[in-house]
Amino acid sequence: MEEKKIKLHLGCQEKYLPGYINIDLPPSEHTAQEVRADLYADVRDLDYETNTVDEIRSHHLLEHFSRQEALLLIARWHRWLKIGGLLVVETPDFEESAKKFVKASLDDQFVLGRHIFGSHEASWAYHKDFWSETKYRYVLSKIGFDDFKFEKFSNNLESKIPLAKSIGLSKAEGALKNLSKFGFNFLPNIVCYAKKSRGESDYPDIIKKILEKSMVGSEVKILEAWLSDIKDKKI
């Protein structure tokens, strides 16, 4: 008999995916959305055996964690995945959002600012770090992923209707703004697909080296605080 695949969908909210273990915080943590999950839990408290998970998927979750927590989670997800296991992570595309922001009207900057910094209607609804193609490639390859693929959407018409991108329809962003009451927006998102390419490595050392890149000058005490925040947490 074929072994049942373990596929995790973290931070699912109301997007329940059949075939996945859908996991999110309980309804009491949500102020404005419905949530439907198989398991109500903080994803930071999950633990799976090493090399047992086939796929881990999260859409608009990773940016809600501090830089040290996010690195710890990515390392943990790497450990759980089987070799060749798939990681799929979608977040706002910080680089494209920043490019748009610079040229945007003040009205659009308010909306882009919310996309970059979060919606702030619940204690989890704050974005704490940036994610972009170059950062995904750098961080994930250090932790032990390869075989990268990216999908970038400059608005959600492209993600809802893939044909819109290929026929250039989605470039008509002025028109999209008029469709905002139907749920269309002009906000850039990125989906990163990567596979676990090697076994466990010295995760704490890799995390430390990545965190050092965010230091301004010789902020040794700040680095120590970042590391102390995650030091007792199992990867």
Ligand X SMILES: C[S@@+](CC[C@H](N)C(=O)[O-])C[C@H]1O[C@@H](n2cnc3c(N)ncnc32)[C@H](O)[C@@H]1O
- The residue ranges that bind ligand X (CB under 6 A) are 11-13, 15, 24-25, 29, 35, 42-44, 59-61, 64, 124
Of 80 and 144, CB closest to ligand X: 80
Q: Cα(26)–Cα(13) distance, rounded to whole angstroms?
A: 9
Q: Which residue type, as a one-letter code, is found at position 229?
A: D
CB of 139 to ligand X, least distance (A): 19
CB of 219 to ligand X, least distance (A): 27
Of 12 and 207, CB closest to ligand X: 12
CB of 215 to ligand X, least distance (A): 26
CB of 221 to ligand X, least distance (A): 27
The residue of the chain with the least Cβ separation from ligand X equals 11
CB of 146 to ligand X, least distance (A): 25
CB of 200 to ligand X, least distance (A): 23
DSSP string covering 143-162, please? HTEEEEEEEEESSHHHHH-T
Evaluate whether 197 touches 146 at the Cβ level (below 8 Å). yes
Evaluate whether 150 touches 193 at the Cβ level (below 8 Å). yes
Of 30 and 171, CB closest to ligand X: 30
Of 51 and 159, CB closest to ligand X: 159
Evaluate whether 152 touches 100 at the Cβ level (below 8 Å). no
Radius of gyration of the chain (CA): 18
Evaluate whether 85 touches 195 at the Cβ level (below 8 Å). yes
> What's the distance, Cα to Cα, between the start and end of the chain in Å?
32
Evaluate whether 91 touches 122 at the Cβ level (below 8 Å). no
CB of 124 to ligand X, least distance (A): 4
Strand partners, 136: none
Q: Which residue type, as a one-letter code, is found at position 81?
A: L
Q: Cα(20)–Cα(112) distance, rounded to whole angstroms?
A: 31
Of 64 and 100, CB closest to ligand X: 64
Of 15 and 142, CB closest to ligand X: 15
Structure token pair of residue 185: 């927006």
Of 51 and 119, CB closest to ligand X: 119
**Distance, CA of 7 to chain centre:** 16
